[in-house]
Amino acid sequence: MGVIIGPRVIDSGASLLSVLIAPVPVAAGFPSPAQDYFDGRIDLNAHLIKDITSTFVVRVTGDSMERAGISDGDELIVNRALEPRDGSVVIAVLDGELTVKRLRLTATGVVLQAENPKYADIKVPALSELTIWGVATRCLHHV
């Protein structure tokens, strides 16, 4: 079951990471010997975080979202200010339980869809309490 472990607040005064960037894309095929130098730095804050005041990092446990590229132990960057839409990967609170699922808005109601055939979709009953806590914008995946 894809659940999250407590969100971490991203401190607005902290610089998360600035790393060197290669000036050209890296080929996944035959390497070019001319591409062995780096050209300046890239601020990962600017690429990963659009709104520091509403962005959190959550760690995923479980394998229910594997086909969405989200694995056990990955960290999701979650923006609480984004409007969830049909197809968004969301952090949902269903009857007090946190979970990460794909949001599906259907003619018959709301479905929290797993991205692993081992898990059934959760058709949210009408009397259940559902809160969309935030929308996942990036997955930090270990390789």
- Residue 90's DSSP bridge partners are 101, 135
The candidate with the shortest Cα–Cα distance to 122, out of 102, 107, 143, 142, is 102
The letter for the amino acid at 30 is F
Query: What secondary structure letter does DSSP report for 68?
Result: G
Tell me which amino acid residue 24 is: V
Token couple for 25: 């894309």
Positions marked active-site: 64, 101
